[in-house]
Chains A and B, each alone.
Chain A
Amino acid sequence: MGAAESRAAAVADAAPTGQLAAADAAPARRRVVSPFNPANAVTASRFLCLPPFAWAVDNGYHQWATLFIFICGWLDKVDGLVARVFDCRSAFGELFDAITDGICYGFALILLAAYGWAPALPVALIIGLGLLNSGMRGVYVRRAGRAVNYKSYAMERIVGYTGYLVGFATAQFEVTFYYWLFVPLMTIILVHDTKRMLIDPIPPAPAPEGAR
């Protein structure tokens, strides 16, 4: 995919997962960016939502818990915007964003299942599928022989859904329906992405700046 085409695709998708899409938006303009940049600071600040979230769950405050996880999800959108505004998109930021998603939502789901706010079986399946997906991405990086993130449009959408899953449990909003809808959907996406990551040929690395 060419730089302009990729940028246009990212704009058309309105950056559904923050820095994930933002970093993919301009592969032709890769440059060295410090990991200590405003976008990564916003990403890191998402971890600050977890202690008050745990406090709210522990005290049975459903609305406060919903508010804290909403702020966590909102910051995920803000970091992509900050990355574009300050032009500090980087491969590290992309990876950091994905890891933060996994830690924040994974922690929240496990906590909610432990307190009986979310059904344990779908939560266990979701966590398992998430770990499997992370493993596949590791294999993809090894196959590619370079630091590359497999861009999955479907997975970007399901990550957004994961944030909502936490909110559905804290709000006790059709929990069983939304959790059991999620599991087969993520399974199908994982099967699709596994084929793409493990079997299909890997696209060549984008040409370095100046080579175009």
Chain B
Amino acid sequence: MTAELVSPTVFAWIVTFLTGVVAGAWFVYDIINLIRARRADGSDPLVSDRRFGYMVGLVIGIGGVLGCLRFHDVM
């Protein structure tokens, strides 16, 4: 059994892809959810829970993409 499965460069790009693409998709997905939920009654605790969850999803999505950009010294 070898210590590594792929070269370090390929591995870094696999992790970048798995993180960046998922985080980006998550951001888009939750922004769509948030737009869809805007017409719902905000005084309903379940609706506000859902909106809060979508906003957390947005932050996680942005954080995921930012981390990838930082890793590759883009920012």
Contacts and interface: CB of A to CB of B under 8 A. Distances in A.
Contacts of A156: 53
B41 interface: no
A200 B43 CA distance: 13
**Which residue, of A156, A157, A160, A181, has the highest number of chain B Cβ atoms within 10 A?**
A157
Contact of B11 (A152, A171, A174, A203): A171
Contacts, number: 86
A63 B19 contact: no
Given A157-B60, A161-B60, A9 B71 contact: no
Contacts of A192: 52
B48 to A, nearest CB: 9
Interface string A4-38: 00000100111000000000000000000000000
A3 to B, nearest CB: 14
B3 to A, nearest CB: 5
Interface of A: 1, 9, 12-14, 59-64, 66-67, 70, 151-158, 160-161, 164, 167-168, 171, 173-174, 177-178, 181, 185, 188-189, 192, 196, 200, 203
B52 A173 contact: no
Interface residues of B, number: 32
B7 to A, nearest CB: 10
Given A64-B5, A173-B16, 10 more contacts: A9-B50, A63-B5, A63-B6, A152-B53, A153-B56, A153-B57, A157-B60, A168-B15, A171-B15, A192-B52
B53 A12 contact: no
Contacts of A14: 29
Interface string B50-75: 10111011011001101110110000
A178 B59 contact: no
A203 B46 contact: yes
A156 B49 CA distance: 12
Nearest to B67: A174
A154 B6 contact: no
Contacts of B4: 61-63
